[in-house]
A = this chain, B = another copy of it.
Amino acid sequence: MKYSIGVDMGGTNTDMGLVTENGNIVQRRNIPTNAYTELEPYVRDMMREIESMVDGQSAIDGMAVQLEGIGIGAPNGNFYTGCVDNAPNLTIKGNLNFAKEIHRYRDVPVVLSNDANAAAYGEYVYGGARGMRHFIMFTLGTGVGSGIVVDGKLVHGSTGAAGELGHNILVPHGRRCSCGREGCLETYTSARGIVQTYCELAHVEPSPEITSKHIGELAHQGDPVALKTWETVADQLGLAMANSVTFSAPEAIFLMGGPAQVGEPLLKPLRAAFDKYLLNIYQGTCQIRMSELRANEVAILGAAALLKMKEQ
């Protein structure tokens, strides 16, 4: 049977999965990314876990696993070079050439991209964007990422770094961003940005118990400041989404990530803001939809999906 490997390389953990043609994860493993400072031992241990999944599944199937390849979603992952370039949140530093290192162990295709691109492609291959030629994925989390599909292909751009809509400047001279500039979408609609908005509206100091999840629970209990927070976030995200439509006129914009799990307190005002800010010629042509992939599967499925690009 044919399978592919999806690797979700996060700053803390690396999750790996053996994925069927239909997008079922039948084996999972993980290793602690932050226990490594060098690529060589990291890939050695990663490959040991991958071979263990392959062997385990071969035993279950009663026949050898045919491995289509290894797809990797990683911070700063570059599709063109197959490298991770100096990702600030990784303990493994430098220019990391994954394909070269992996090929010491197994001669299979290796495809790599950043995590938001991988998530978008996972939605395209296994999720709600199947059959769509044009869509955009926004991922809300510690940061705000995006992946853009135009004419059925992930947009990588001239450098491989296309699709950073979280760093669209939404508010000139607005909040200070980790990128060094001001007013990026990410400073308003990331988990941290949402917390900041809540604290400003509630006139309280940030504290560890105030998280975007907590603000979501408060909203479901009817807390007016929490509801106002989500309306504010929705207005900002709705404007950014409406602006992104002027670029590629997508059929849908997908949303995923922890803060998006709050549901209606965000989604209802988000759809209203999107309609309000959308240019008339696009009215009725683009839906806002939640990702159809499970939160604990999307990263692995997205990484595995990257291998399907080879077939295009």
Which of A's residues lie within 8 Å of B, judged by CB? 132-134, 148, 150-151, 153, 155-165, 167-169, 171-172, 179-181, 239, 242-244, 246-251, 277, 279-282, 285-286
CB–CB B158/A243 < 8 A: no
CB distance from A246 to the nearest CB of B (A): 4
- Give the oligomeric copy count: 2
CB–CB B134/A168 < 8 A: no
- Docked CA distance A251–B159 (Å): 8
CB–CB A169/B277 < 8 A: yes
CB–CB A158/B247 < 8 A: no
CB–CB A165/B246 < 8 A: yes
Contact residue among B164, B180, B249 (Cβ-Cβ distance under 8 Å from A160): B249
Q: Can you give 9 A-B contacts (C-beta < 8 A)? A: A134-B162, A150-B151, A151-B151, A155-B248, A158-B249, A163-B247, A181-B277, A243-B243, A247-B248
Contact residue among B168, B248, B251 (Cβ-Cβ distance under 8 Å from A243): B168
CB–CB A247/B161 < 8 A: no
Residues in B neighbouring A151, C-beta threshold 8 A: 150-151, 153, 155
